[in-house]
Structure 1
Amino acid sequence: MIVLLGMYDRPETAAANDRFWTAIRARLGYGPEALTRGCDFWEAWQSPDLLLAQTCGLPYRARLHDKVTLVATPDYGLPGCPPGHYNSVFVAHRDDAGASLAELATGALAYNEPLSQSGWAAPEAHLTGLGLAPAALVQTGGHRASAEAVANRTARFAALDALTWELIRRYDAFAADLVEVTRTAPTPALPFITASARDAKALAAALEGAIADLSDEDRATLGLRGLCRLPAADYLAQPIPPAPVHRD
């Protein structure tokens, strides 16, 4: 069976993630001893062997919602967000402190990938709502790489998952070269899913109990405050953005 909790998994959080799965498994009463790491996310999300995984809101509504079962939504207690929601943080280089999004949009926007809610869908909607479009795009493959692209001047600005931004500020020295510009509107946070044939209610109960079982330190490391039962309709109501267009 596959258990993939990789969305916020990095060396500094890996041990806490391991203990989180151990607590879930103890509550559930079955499952593999160790988390699945190093696999292709799309293959894992769509596998009939999937026991539990965390995905992103855009992949869920665009490709997965009719192939998997929604389990529950984590609450990270993020600033300005209702329970079970998150948003994107626009960041710029510290030398651009005080610059408006209109000024930053004359340069390149770094984004992680086209099927990312926080890296592409949310910033695209925010900029479009202001009548703005970035002069160029830089695809980086990951939120941390997008932040680094701004820090090293490969891009003028980026949009980052709000929890990832907190982890970057906590653990990455290059964060000192970045400033926060503004945040997008909140949307449902990254959902936990399981294969369509599995018992989502039992998994949700195990997740909720495991969060309570974690030490205060592990909950703080993972940013976990609790669990929400958001309906699938809350995810499906979000628009699917146009694909990024790279201009030569």
Structure 2
Amino acid sequence: MTWLAALPMYNVSPSLAADWRSLLRHVLRALGVDGTGIRITDPGDDLHAFWRRTDLLISQTCGYPLMHGLHEHVQLVATPHFEAPGCDGANYRGVLITGRHVSAQTLEACRGLRAACNQDDSNSGMNVLRHAAAPFARDGVFFGGVVRTGSHIESLRALAQGHAEVASIDCVTMAFVRDHLPDLAQSVREIGFTAASPGLPLIASRAAPKTLIEPIREALNDAIAADAPLAQRLRLKRFSTLSLADYARIEQLEDEARAAGYPRLG
């Protein structure tokens, strides 16, 4: 079998996508395969299908789909620790962002405004925003509408262009936007952070042999130790191993929003 590897979640720019592929090549060399038996690939547009492939050896997913069915198909490999505002160890936050045309200085002041949301199954774009807005909702409503954009980058563009007023953006994505898309970063404004939860995990198919998983974990940390410039560009500090019990924090945030009478972002 040829195993597949792809790290698609933070490809903010072509150069950043190339750096993620470089990290994978470091790992393959450490495993002693260097392209033989493992192939770095383009996952395509349907990430949910890609994450469920039985020949998946290394990829990265969002914690929300992980806890809503994906965990039945995959095993956790590692969770990155990023050097970015809003990150603390393996945890990350959503950055609350408005367009520069918006006067609101707090999320509470955004009542009735349009929210931009990348995906309904995004932890950083939907789940933590729902949790943050829940205390201010009335009869299950807080925003004046929700625009689904398809990605954090498109959510930022929606804010910049006035198609929406507020969004929650993965703080790691936001840090990469400042690095690689400074004009877009300067076209929006930060007003706060959401609650923290475990960051986007690296995963493998449940069919992947256990004898490869621990060497991959070691190779990831060895790679960023051996190539400091690459680690700096990727804002990587280290990788650690979390459990599904750690990721239950994501379900806790969802349950708290529902208990507050705000089950759906709106």
- Distance in 1 (CA, whole Å) between partners of 2:178 and 2:104 is 19
Aligned residue in 1 for 2:10: 8
Q: Pick the aligned partner of 2:216 from 200, 203, 220.
A: 203
Q: Secondary structure at the match of 1:212?
A: helix
Comparing 194-203 and 4-13, the one that deviates more = 194-203
Give, in angstroms, the shift of residue 77 of structure 1.
2.9
> Does 1:236 find its partner at 2:248?
yes
Aligned residue in 2 for 1:142: 151
Aligned residue in 2 for 1:191: 201
Aligned residue in 2 for 1:220: 232
Q: Pick the aligned partner of 2:168 from 133, 138, 159.
A: 159
Change (3 A) 1:39 1:99: closer
- Distance in 2 (CA, whole Å) between partners of 1:159 and 1:191 is 19
Q: Pick the aligned partner of 2:23 from 9, 20, 23.
A: 20
Give, in angstroms, the shift of residue 76 of structure 1.
0.3
- Distance in 2 (CA, whole Å) between partners of 1:230 and 1:78 is 20
Q: Pick the aligned partner of 1:93 from 95, 99, 118.
A: 99
1:98-132 deviation digits (Å, cap 9, x = unpaired): 53222223210001001101010011101103447
Q: Secondary structure at the match of 2:115?
A: strand
Comparing 4-13 and 79-88, the one that deviates more = 79-88
Identity %: 29
Q: Pick the aligned partner of 1:63 from 54, 65, 69.
A: 69
Q: Secondary structure at the match of 1:205?
A: helix
- Distance in 1 (CA, whole Å) between partners of 2:40 and 2:58 is 12
Q: Pick the aligned partner of 2:189 from 179, 197, 200.
A: 179
Give, in angstroms, the shift of residue 27 of structure 1.
1.2
Give, in angstroms, the shift of residue 29 of structure 1.
2.0
Unaligned runs of 5+ in 2: none
Q: Secondary structure at the match of 2:10?
A: coil
- Distance in 2 (CA, whole Å) between partners of 1:219 and 1:50 is 24
Give, in angstroms, the shift of residue 175 of structure 1.
2.0
- Distance in 2 (CA, whole Å) between partners of 1:22 and 1:107 is 45
- Distance in 2 (CA, whole Å) between partners of 1:68 and 1:2 is 14
Alignment coverage as a number of residue pairs: 245
- Distance in 1 (CA, whole Å) between partners of 2:84 and 2:231 is 14
Q: Secondary structure at the match of 2:207?
A: coil
1:107–1:136 contact (8 Å) kept in structure 2: yes
Give, in angstroms, the shift of residue 144 of structure 1.
0.3
- Distance in 2 (CA, whole Å) between partners of 1:33 and 1:120 is 32
Q: Structure 1 stretches (4+) deviating beyond 4 angstroms?
A: 242-246
Comparing 136-145 and 32-41, the one that deviates more = 32-41
- Distance in 2 (CA, whole Å) between partners of 1:138 and 1:237 is 26
Change (3 A) 1:138 1:98: closer
Unaligned runs of 5+ in 1: none
